[in-house]
Structure 1
């Protein structure tokens, strides 16, 4: 496989200053990363940094941040793409392939098991309480993501203005998410030419590890082969779309498996800014357009993804399961749900390998160009606004039992019925906020407290 989709020896010369770890040792380490990858992209990136930079010394801090900046520019799950990139740096295509799929596997198994339990036992009082507390705690996790990203980019008024514009554009004026992200990237790229200090706000630290396997020592890197890049692109496009083509030929264009495959293929192309940003778009389409699941079920799925290992974008697997479960055709609903999970997982994560295996050689060649960092800074600022949109959408549907849509004067806004406030949900949300933001408890402990409180409320007080 490495000969088919790998890189020529001339693409990159002298990657590191010392010999790389064995593939077996790296595989074991990627297993450790996967097993500890709870808490969303921030936690997962922190785990990789600790293991690969601080503990193993395989990657220097600057090279780690360089790879992270590129993956933040890409659509899709940045933490998984970072794993693919770092695996590729260490062992080329084979290493990237192993790192990427091992990062996904634990979450896939966990979400699939929870999806089956969800449709089978969710009417039980204990399960109802679990989901009730889970959804309230998830709101605080979204808030924490806004605060974390905001600290990175809110260094001047231009970045704040981009975030506000992105929020208003999506929540009030219903501007499509992809347009917002593309516009932000263009603004950042062009703004760098006008005011580089304003738009280049996401930079790495000055310290580095010169003796790391993948260090920041200047290297002689040749221009990547266009022929090799085209070959890699072609192969991974075939890997991505051949299963979908087979589904179309066998089941027809209108089958739920095909609809899910095509929709989430689109999501994988336009979902810049990671899971939180993508979910605003996914929730809107999956709930309102395709009617695959209900708003509170979307929150349940996000809660599942937040309490299992793997990327938060794995929640789309739950969406795929529920959509196929509700539209099974001639299949048993559970069987249809499992197939839907497989289809959605495939089209969500295969593109990550394409972006890395095609783009990483060029990113290594262009290492040090600050115009990319400027585009990243603007995109990240816009993503903060998009995440606020997601959080507000979740908050309205979680904290209030009735909502309505106001339409007029060119706007369309989701608003709550104030008198329908759910005091219990508000209380659990405040509890989770105190634990996570005031006492710096882990995401797992915060969600655990929300779950326990929700179960107690449902069992004893309802």
Structure 2
């Protein structure tokens, strides 16, 4: 642990949270996790690192770096990782489940309303102001994380390059992260000072306040326990397919839903957007689960509800089963389809963490591999900036196109489509967060009410 210099005030170490305390916080995070991965990571950072100091900045970024390398929603897997650090396997299960459960319940209700009425105008009014508040939350988190992860000119250069590769060149997300890791590994072996300032340097100041975060129990496990986790994960993953055999008319479309989204669960590097086009194409043209344009409606629902954006797949599963019921009531079939899709999508997320986290924790003692993760931390700042810009463009402008010029491929808004109300609410949310320090819940509530009223009236 980095030594504390005499000129820095030492705060009392907060007590280790009880399981009940953690349960309440994970439930709060699950209910407020709007805005996609950038907003969700920002929320967890504020709640767990800044306010409660349950985990240190370095451990938070170390966990995030690993989750960025995995298929599936990185924010949900980060919640599983931190829950596992705090309270072992049960902590990881509760954290990951509560992160998804509120959004899943909401997306099921909205999918049912969509299937029956085919309208989402009221939802857009309800969450109009919420999006503006989330944008301000993302920007606040970006400033905090960047100030602590980018401690040298070289790490700032890595963040800038990662942003350019993602936003301007549209390079694959896993490629950018992997390249940053390789670069960090090589630099750590030859010039480690490029990644970390000298010990005692003032750049370490933000990590100085005492936290629980570097005093977690040793959770290393034996090989037999690892094999047991693999077997348990495989059984849980496959369990719904056994239940489907008991349906009155057999599994029907449910079998295709389960198999298709099981495949998606292991290739969704970079989150929902990475596979959105492919899922839309297969759902419309191959399986005929959706009509053209319905995928965008599903994405709009997922973007304006708590939980990972990949819950848009639950919307697809609901409509697929709603239209091919296998002898069930359409709404019951839709709910079963949404549950099946969500189950096969998220069970692997727990598996990746419970398998890999104990080994990733050991890497903290390896200088070269820690250098690789430090470089990934810098690249992650570029990733969050890319997500923030993408989200900001779609919040502040009603029309966002794309520019293709040689290797350049980037989102480009139509200047005349700037939404003045969204801009006003975003500025107001930023003032509440940055200057007035009113907190996330109050900011979200104020912006949601103001946005609904303004948008409904105008």
Q: Would the TM-score normalized by the shorter structure come out above 0.5?
A: yes
Offset of residue 188 of structure 1: 1.6
Preserved CA contact (<8 Å) 1:30 1:102: no
Give 1:322's aligned residue. Answer: 315
Give 2:356's aligned residue. Answer: 359
Distance 1:79 1:384 in 2: 18
Give 2:397's aligned residue. Answer: 400
Give 1:3's aligned residue. Answer: none
Preserved CA contact (<8 Å) 1:261 1:343: no
Give 1:35's aligned residue. Answer: 27
Offset of residue 193 of structure 1: 0.9
Q: In 2 relative to 1, CA 384–284 (structure 1 residues): closer, same or farther, beyond 3 Å?
A: farther
Residue 166 of structure 2 is aligned to residue 170 of structure 1: yes
Offset of residue 239 of structure 1: 3.1
Residue 456 of structure 2 is aligned to residue 456 of structure 1: no
Once the two structures are superposed, residues 138-179 of structure 1 have per-residue CA deviations (whole angstroms, 9 ceiling, x without a partner) of 322332332232122222222222222222222222211111
Give 1:417's aligned residue. Answer: 414
List aligned pairs for 1:144-183, cutoff 5 A.
144-183=140-179
Which ranges in structure 2 are unaligned for 5 or more consecutive residues? 1-15, 34-39, 198-202, 285-289
Q: In 2 relative to 1, CA 266–433 (structure 1 residues): closer, same or farther, beyond 3 Å?
A: same
Give 2:11's aligned residue. Answer: none
List aligned pairs for 1:340-351, cutoff 5 A.
340-351=337-348
Distance 1:229 1:246 in 2: 27
Distance 1:440 1:84 in 2: 30
Preserved CA contact (<8 Å) 1:163 1:383: yes
List aligned pairs for 1:126-137, cutoff 5 A.
127-137=123-133
List aligned pairs for 1:66-145, cutoff 5 A.
66=59, 69-70=62-63, 72-74=65-67, 75=70, 76=74, 77=76, 78-88=78-88, 93-94=89-90, 96-98=92-94, 100-102=96-98, 104-113=100-109, 115-116=111-112, 123=119, 127-145=123-141
Which ranges in structure 1 are unaligned for 5 or more consecutive residues? 1-20, 55-60, 272-277, 306-311
Q: In 2 relative to 1, CA 363–111 (structure 1 residues): closer, same or farther, beyond 3 Å?
A: same
Q: In 2 relative to 1, CA 176–213 (structure 1 residues): closer, same or farther, beyond 3 Å?
A: closer
Distance 1:423 1:459 in 2: 15
Preserved CA contact (<8 Å) 2:135 2:426: yes
Offset of residue 285 of structure 1: 5.6
Distance 1:136 1:151 in 2: 23
Tell me the SS of whatever aligns to 2:304: helix
2:188 to 174, 188, 192: 192
Q: In 2 relative to 1, CA 130–419 (structure 1 residues): closer, same or farther, beyond 3 Å?
A: same
Offset of residue 208 of structure 1: 6.0
Preserved CA contact (<8 Å) 1:402 1:417: yes
List aligned pairs for 1:60-71, cutoff 5 A.
66=59, 69-70=62-63
Q: In 2 relative to 1, CA 355–325 (structure 1 residues): closer, same or farther, beyond 3 Å?
A: closer
Offset of residue 242 of structure 1: 5.9
Distance 2:52 2:136 in 1: 29
Q: In 2 relative to 1, CA 347–418 (structure 1 residues): closer, same or farther, beyond 3 Å?
A: same
Q: In 2 relative to 1, CA 27–146 (structure 1 residues): closer, same or farther, beyond 3 Å?
A: closer
Offset of residue 215 of structure 1: 4.0
State the superposition RMSD in angstroms.
4.1
Distance 1:289 1:141 in 2: 35
Distance 1:141 1:52 in 2: 18
Distance 2:266 2:310 in 1: 11
Once the two structures are superposed, residues 231-279 of structure 1 have per-residue CA deviations (whole angstroms, 9 ceiling, x without a partner) of 4334424433565799899557994554333223322xx34xxxxxx35
Distance 1:285 1:146 in 2: 30
Give 1:389's aligned residue. Answer: 386
Preserved CA contact (<8 Å) 2:80 2:93: no
